[in-house]
């Protein structure tokens, strides 16, 4: 425990109105986030001190909170201020040129009872971590993924801190030496353990509908815009297992992976087994969008 504590980064975090060293920040053992995973979170990429797609991430945080019937404890301006303090240009706790700010709101502290107690004060936490870019060599080769049944709950659209399903799903790919676990509900693609999944067929990008079975990544809207700008057809429909295995290209997207090519699935090559032209086009467009964020 001591060794782990010593290895914790020497950065500031935000906890309930105070900026404190991350390694000293403490919450009650009765916090419902600890007891029940009764909370929500967000992860916002920050490039050179500027958050990317910030308003969209905060809008999703608001939707997740509403699903849990927790009032948003802060205004958009207050969330932005925390982001600037932790990761903005010249921030004391800024850790790298590419950072990810993690925000968490839990229902608060109460004696253990499944029912939602009234009048709790939500616990609000934020920290900043370096966001290690996917190495160029990995991008150039693409990544391997494995498949699994989507055994998570039926409200995957809520970005909830209760992530046991995602943790168990991710470990399946860790054990297989793969980058992600691509999940199916029956015959239909849902998403990966912490990324969305896109198929490319006949130069068209398709993903699963934004329903309760997937987390609508902020890159849903971003990729749709980038496709529109690049003249690439884009649509959302229930994507079958056959469409996935028969795709010309398969892509992952998330705040940290941006857009990443999958070249094998369960050991089978996707398309010609190399990162494809639509990936290259979207990755370039993504980098341009980051530049325009200045
Ligand atoms: N994960 N689907 C799931 C289940 C996710 O956890 C994530 C993000 C995504 C992609 O969403 P976005 O494009 O908004 O990053 C899709 C974050 C990065 C995480 O849990 O760390």
Do 145 and 182 form a contact (C-beta atoms < 8 A)? yes
Residues of the chain with CATH 3.20.10.10: 136-292
Q: Which of 46, 158, 254 to mutate to test the pocket of ligand 1 (most atoms within 8 A of CB)?
A: 254
Name residues whose C-beta falls within 8 Å of residue 119's C-beta, 6 or more positions apart in sequence: none
User: Which pLDDT does position 1 carry in this prediction?
Assistant: 46
Q: Which residues of the chain does CATH 3.30.470.10 include?
A: 2-130
Q: How far is 126 from 16, CA to CA, in rounded Å?
A: 9
Residue 217 CA to ligand 1 centre (angstroms): 6
Residue 281 Cβ inside 6 Å of ligand 1? The answer reads no
Q: Distance from the CA of 104 to the center of ligand 1, in angstroms?
A: 14
Q: Is the CB of 218 under 6 A from ligand 1?
A: yes
**Chain centre to alpha carbon of residue 78:** 22
Q: Specify whether the CB–CB gap between 125 and 161 falls below 8 A.
A: no
Exposed/middle/buried for residue 175 (C-beta within 10 Å: 0-12, 13-18, 19+)? exposed
Radius of gyration of the chain (CA): 19
Nearest CA to ligand 1 atom 3: 194
For 177, the token pair is 């030496």
Place of tokens 């950072």: 99
* d(C-alpha 250, C-alpha 262), whole Å: 5
CA of 57, closest atom in ligand 1: 14
Other CB atoms within a 10 A radius of the CB of residue 140 amount to 10
pLDDT at 91: 83
pLDDT of residue 294: 64
- Mention the CATH class of domain 2-130: alpha beta
Q: Are 67 and 155 in contact (CB under 8 A)?
A: yes
So what's the architecture of 136-292 in CATH?
Alpha-Beta Barrel (3.20)
Q: How many CA atoms does the CB half-sphere of 213 hold within 13 Å?
A: 18
* CB of residue 190 inside a 6 A radius of ligand 1: no
Distance 111 CA to ligand 1 centre (A): 31
Would you call 26 a catalytic residue per the annotation?
no
Residue 254 CB less than 6 A away from ligand 1:
yes
Q: Digits of tens for pLDDT over the chain (294 positions)?
A: 445 555 777 789 999 999 999 999 999 999 999 999 999 999 999 999 999 999 999 999 999 999 999 999 999 999 999 999 999 987 866 667 899 999 999 999 999 999 999 999 999 999 999 998 899 999 999 999 999 999 999 999 999 999 999 999 999 999 999 999 999 999 999 999 999 999 999 999 999 999 999 999 999 999 999 999 999 999 999 999 999 999 999 999 999 999 999 999 999 999 999 999 999 999 999 999 999 986
């Amino acid at each position: 425990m001591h060794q782990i504590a010593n290895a914790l980064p020497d950065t500031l975090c935000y906890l309930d109105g105070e900026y404190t060293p991350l390694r000293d920040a403490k919450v009650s053992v009765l916090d419902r986030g600890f007891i029940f995973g009764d909370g929500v979170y967000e992860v916002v990429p920050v490039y050179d001190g500027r958050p990317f797609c910030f308003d969209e991430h905060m809008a999703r945080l608001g939707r997740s909170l509403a699903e849990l019937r927790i009032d948003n404890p802060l205004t958009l301006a207050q969330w932005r201020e925390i982001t600037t303090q932790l990761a903005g240009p010249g921030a004391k706790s800024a850790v790298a040129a590419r950072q990810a700010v993690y925000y968490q709101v839990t229902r608060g502290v109460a004696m253990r009872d499944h029912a939602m107690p009234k009048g709790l004060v939500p616990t609000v936490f934020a920290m900043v971590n370096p966001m290690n870019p996917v190495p160029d060599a990995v991008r150039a080769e693409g990544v391997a993924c494995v498949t699994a049944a989507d055994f998570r709950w039926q409200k995957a659209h809520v970005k909830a801190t209760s992530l046991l399903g995602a943790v168990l799903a991710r470990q399946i790919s860790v054990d297989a030496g793969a980058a992600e676990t691509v999940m199916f509900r029956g015959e239909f693609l849902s998403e990966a353990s912490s990324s969305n999944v896109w198929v490319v067929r006949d130069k068209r990008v398709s993903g699963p509908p934004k329903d309760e079975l997937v987390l609508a990544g902020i890159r849903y809207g971003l990729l749709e815009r980038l496709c529109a700008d690049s003249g690439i057809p884009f649509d959302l429909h229930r994507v079958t297992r056959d469409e996935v295995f028969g795709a010309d290209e398969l892509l992952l997207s998330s705040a940290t992976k941006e857009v990443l090519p999958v070249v094998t699935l369960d050991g089978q090559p996707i398309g010609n087994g190399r990162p494809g032209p639509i990936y290259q086009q979207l990755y370039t467009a993504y980098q341009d969008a980051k530049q325009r964020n200045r």
